[in-house]
Structure 1
Amino acid sequence: MVRAKSIDHGIPGRGSFMPMRDSIPRRADRDTLRRELGQNFLQDDRAVRNLVTHVEGDGRNVLEIGPGKGAITEELVRSFDTVTVVEMDPHWAAHVRRKFEGERVTVFQGDFLDFRIPRDIDTVVGNVPFGITTQILRSLLESTNWQSAALIVQWEVARKRAGRSGGSLLTTSWAPWYEFAVHDRVRASSFRPMPRVDGGVLTIRRRPQPLLPESASRAFQNFAEAVFTGPGRGLAEILRRHIPKRTYRSLADRHGIPDGGLPKDLTLTQWIALFQASQPGYAPGATGTRIPGQGGGAGGRDYDSEPNRAAVPGGRRYGPTRGGDPCAPRAQVRQTKGRQGARGSSYGRRTGR
């Protein structure tokens, strides 16, 4: 058996990997830190087992975000060959290290937002702090290494990300490459301390056949941001700045797009059709990318002309290169992303949508 490992980095402050402290802080200090980090530990064994039933992957390598006391980790150890955990609180990182000593568990102590997901990780699991769910989701979606994720987030956030209450900018921006689904509700009473709202299980799966190639990711996400933030009382007014009136009229009739509707009301089929129509060289009636199970082709540029390219968003991989450090802070990487594009829209970063 591989002994549990702990990886420490001595750069102080949030956004770095801090040295492990085995001393137990005073209760008042622990309570303050718990509130700052949004720690609500999952105590319901049935809820823990239920979360793990939604985990997909090849059963080999799983990454857990914020293990806390290790309740979910304990279930993951039973199902996966190796478990990697990222815990920001040095107290609980030390606790998990001790609890799973001798098991196939590797402990990284630091902020997940600065963590580079190793290339061998195929599955991500976590009870995500409700206060920073959007930041964690965006960081996760920007990585290209994993294939599926099962996360506990706030119930209304899970519904929103899965499109149950209409589309959002964040979900729409990544929908051609990922599938989002909401599952079971997790009652607030399942957590300690008990939060004010219920949680829910959100799953994200990388599409085996993306609906757009990587080369279109920057343009698609810019287009989605422009539509969500554009002026106008309805889609017809908003889109007239991006698509010729006659072209829009044809697409609206063909795909059932309501003139007075809002961006959140658009289906993924409609989004892709409108996006392709907004691109230079658009030819009405041309055959474009088809969305499996939704019928009909979206007219426009034939993005399927690049069958051998890895059609995943975000060309840069965040996983460690050979001999690299998987825990090196990603601050420098994030500074190079630019204002918009495949790394997530600036609007989403400002508003958390």
Structure 2
Amino acid sequence: MKNQGNAESSHRARKRFGQNFLIDQGIIRDIVRAIHPRNSDHLVEIGPGKGAITEQLAAQCDHLSVIELDRDLVPWLKVKFEKHPGFQLFQADALAFDFAQLITDDTPLRIVGNLPYNISTPLIFHLLSYAGKVQDMHFMLQKEVVKRMAALPGESAYGRLGIMVQYFCEVEALFEVPPTSFDPAPKVDSAIVRLTPYKTLPYPAKNLKVFEKLVNLSFQQRRKTLRNSLKNALSTEVIASLPVDTGVRAETLSLETFVTLSNLLSEEHFSGATPKSEAN
């Protein structure tokens, strides 16, 4: 244990993994309090790092799975938490991880993570594909990303990310975390967000691919009107038939409106359209 402890204390955060280790015990307690783990939960922690939050979760939950990319931290984590019978560790990239494999008895997953800033948006989109198998998600993210997730129509932060997250989940921005809570201290402020997947979608899309494509195209160039954003993907006749003022910008339209528009369209309407993926 002494050697493992030395390895842990000497481990330096790696920039390529986006590592910033949480060291503020008060913030750790606040996060665990927000999660409110129970014995019957199946918790999944992404990027446990040096185990600051892991230790609190393992003490309160009988079934904890963790996913860690950094090979150097894996042996230390195994030794530290092997005394917990419900603990399992996967050395893997969360972006490519199949979270469905963790479902064993129909118990929904509760996902937790201090997510690296450089992969937070694509990882959120990856996790949304498992929304039906998830009870809730609590993440530490860059504060600006949390703002985008929770933004409403007309707000400058409102865009593709917020619409897609809000399609699947209720979004609650919980509290902010200053840079001094980490080692090393990041150059940006952080925040904790709770995402609770809807059991019944409030505005279900008939075709999710069409909905995603419409939202993506609409926000590729934010300063353009909806009409101009869609003109290379939809015919003039189809655009004119949409029951909305296409002379406005996409940021003024609600989630419900985007779903309504997508339900009037089909994949054939978008033939030839190849929207680029972006993070707005």
Q: TM-score interval w.r.t. the shorter chain? A: 0.7 to 0.9
1:39 partnered with 2:19: yes
Of 266, 276, 279, which residue of structure 2 is paired with 1:347?
A: 276
Spell out structure 1 runs of 4+ moving beyond 4 A: 21-25, 56-59, 212-215, 236-244
Cα distance in 2, alignment partners of residues 215 and 158 from structure 1? 28
1:216-235 correspondence to structure 2 within 5 Å? 216-229=207-220, 233-235=224-226
Tell me the residue number matched to 1:66: 47
Structure 1 stretches lacking a partner, 5+ long: 1-20, 253-258, 281-344
Cα distance in 2, alignment partners of residues 89 and 244 from structure 1? 48
With over 3 angstroms needed to count, the CA separation of the structure-2 counterparts of 1:56 and 1:261, relative to structure 1, is farther
AA of the residue aligned to 1:262: R
> Alignment partner of 2:133: what SS?
coil
Cα distance in 1, alignment partners of residues 95 and 138 from structure 2? 17
Tell me the residue number matched to 1:167: 158
2:217–2:230 Cα contact (<8 Å) kept: no
Tell me the residue number matched to 1:332: none
With over 3 angstroms needed to count, the CA separation of the structure-2 counterparts of 1:24 and 1:80, relative to structure 1, is closer
2:205–2:259 Cα contact (<8 Å) kept: no
1:182 partnered with 2:173: yes
**Aligned-pair distance for 1:63?**
0.1
AA of the residue aligned to 2:142: Q
Cα distance in 2, alignment partners of residues 23 and 75 from structure 1? 21
AA of the residue aligned to 1:141: L
With over 3 angstroms needed to count, the CA separation of the structure-2 counterparts of 1:56 and 1:247, relative to structure 1, is farther
Q: Which structure has greater helix proportion? A: 2
With over 3 angstroms needed to count, the CA separation of the structure-2 counterparts of 1:135 and 1:23, relative to structure 1, is farther
Cα distance in 2, alignment partners of residues 77 and 127 from structure 1? 16
1:167–1:263 Cα contact (<8 Å) kept: no
With over 3 angstroms needed to count, the CA separation of the structure-2 counterparts of 1:247 and 1:261, relative to structure 1, is closer
> Alignment partner of 2:72: what SS?
helix
Tell me the residue number matched to 1:245: 240
Deviations 1:71-128 (A, max 9, x none): 1111212332211001111222222211112113111112112222112452000111
With over 3 angstroms needed to count, the CA separation of the structure-2 counterparts of 1:52 and 1:274, relative to structure 1, is same
AA of the residue aligned to 1:210: L
With over 3 angstroms needed to count, the CA separation of the structure-2 counterparts of 1:231 and 1:146, relative to structure 1, is closer
With over 3 angstroms needed to count, the CA separation of the structure-2 counterparts of 1:121 and 1:22, relative to structure 1, is farther
1:77 partnered with 2:58: yes
Deviations 1:143-180 (A, max 9, x none): 24222100001111111122164322133234322222
TM-score (norm 2): 0.78
- The sequence identity of aligned pairs, in percent, is 25
Of 57, 74, 80, which residue of structure 2 is paired with 1:99?
A: 80
1:178–1:207 Cα contact (<8 Å) kept: yes
Cα distance in 2, alignment partners of residues 279 and 211 from structure 1? 21
Of 110, 133, 142, which residue of structure 2 is paired with 1:123?
A: 110
Cα distance in 2, alignment partners of residues 221 and 70 from structure 1? 36
Tell me the residue number matched to 1:276: 263
TM-score (norm 1): 0.64
Cα distance in 1, alignment partners of residues 222 and 52 from structure 2? 48
**Aligned-pair distance for 1:212?**
4.4
**Aligned-pair distance for 1:193?**
0.8
Structure 2 stretches lacking a partner, 5+ long: 268-273
1:42–1:191 Cα contact (<8 Å) kept: yes
Cα distance in 2, alignment partners of residues 157 and 214 from structure 1? 25
